[in-house]
Amino acid sequence: MPHEIAPRSGVAFTLDRGQRLTIIDPQGEQVADLLAFNRADVREVISAGRTFDYASKIFLTAGDPLYSNRSNIMLDIVEDSVGRHDFLLTPCSKDTFRIIYGDSDPHQGCFGNLAQALAPYAIEEDMIPAAFNCFMNVQVDGTSGAISVDPPLSKAGDRIVFEARMDLIIGLTACSALQSNNGSFKPIHWQVD
């Protein structure tokens, strides 16, 4: 049975080298922000910039590795039933909701949920990079660079599977931003095999 992350919340857990992490969108159109830290030294984190550089593209799917800030492969994407995810944007946060949505009493967002879940592993807010945003559908205009956050392409039961290439600490959320999730907050399922 997979674990469930309640809407607008997050978890952290360990993943051993060689283990597979499956992230499932049980209802469809729900984003899950994924972070990975080297368990032996949490200053080593997943890096969008290095991953894009070595992949020579910004849209990643099965067969693509996710690199760390030290250019080591942390995770491989081994299965992907959706084919569209985002690795450009930072986890939604109090400031996201204040600046983009104009909320006066903002939710702590994925950023706050991740910081809370990762605190027991001695990971602090300032150590949180841009997350790999599973199922997030960010469209990019190739000429102007303009971006838009569109509804996820994921349908109920869609999944993405990662294999760990080192011993990791994982942070994972059910995203809290209305725009990313087509206007409603849903759970995320995950399991380790």
Supply the minimum distance, in Å, between the C-beta of residue 34 and Zn ion: 11
Rounded to an integer, what distance in angstroms lies between the CA atom of residue 111 and that of residue 90?
Answer: 8
Distances in whole angstroms, Cα of residue 192 to Cα of each of 60, 85, 161: 21, 20, 10
Supply the minimum distance, in Å, between the C-beta of residue 172 and Zn ion: 11
Q: Under 8 Å CB-to-CB from 24, ≥6 apart: which residues?
A: 2, 157, 158, 159, 188, 189, 190, 191
Rounded to an integer, what distance in angstroms lies between the CA atom of residue 88 and that of residue 188?
Answer: 21
What element of type H or E holds 93?
none
Contact (CB, 8 A) for 121 and 42: yes
Question: What's the Rg (C-alpha) of the chain?
Answer: 15
Considering the complex, state which of residue 85 and residue 165 has its C-beta at the smaller distance from Zn ion. Answer: 85
Considering the complex, state which of residue 35 and residue 166 has its C-beta at the smaller distance from Zn ion. Answer: 35
Supply the minimum distance, in Å, between the C-beta of residue 154 and Zn ion: 15
Considering the complex, state which of residue 110 and residue 149 has its C-beta at the smaller distance from Zn ion. Answer: 110
Considering the complex, state which of residue 52 and residue 185 has its C-beta at the smaller distance from Zn ion. Answer: 185
For residue 188, what are the β-bridge partners?
A: 5
Supply the minimum distance, in Å, between the C-beta of residue 43 and Zn ion: 24
Footprint of Zn ion (CB under 5 A): 92, 110, 175-177
Supply the minimum distance, in Å, between the C-beta of residue 105 and Zn ion: 17
Considering the complex, state which of residue 31 and residue 166 has its C-beta at the smaller distance from Zn ion. Answer: 31
